[in-house]
A = this chain, B = another copy of it.
Amino acid sequence: MKVRILVSLKPGVLDPQGRAVHHALEGLGFAGVDDVRIGRTVTLEVADDTSDAALEEMCEKLLANTVIENYRIEKLEG
């Protein structure tokens, strides 16, 4: 089973990477960019019987820093 975990900074947490990309886009002449936020995806290939609880535990223990990050678990087809 393929699972994608989207990890993103919590709203209000400063995103220096996003700011740097934002400046770079403006430097390249792209107008109309109001905000840029950088996040992480962790795509897992796991056994079909892996429980939601186990996936949550992976996120809580390792894949996301829950102090400053949110995570969302998406199960993908195929």
Are the C-beta atoms of A39 and B43 separated by less than 8 Å?
yes
Are the C-beta atoms of B40 and A41 separated by less than 8 Å?
yes
A30 to B49, CA, bound (A): 13
- Number of this chain's copies in the assembly equals 2
Chain A interface residue count, Cβ-Cβ cutoff 8 angstroms: 33
Are the C-beta atoms of B44 and A41 separated by less than 8 Å?
no
Interface: A36 (CB within 8 A):
yes
> In the assembled complex, which residues on chain B have CB atoms less than 8 Å from the CB atom of A58?
25, 28, 30
Chain A contacts to B: CB under 8 angstroms:
6, 8, 18, 21, 24-25, 28, 30-47, 49-50, 54, 57-58, 61-63
Q: For the A-B complex with A6-B41, A34-B46, A38-B42 known, give 17 more contacts whose Cβ atoms are closer than 8 Å.
A: A8-B41, A18-B42, A25-B62, A28-B58, A28-B61, A28-B62, A32-B50, A34-B47, A35-B45, A36-B43, A36-B44, A36-B45, A37-B42, A37-B43, A38-B41, A39-B41, A40-B40
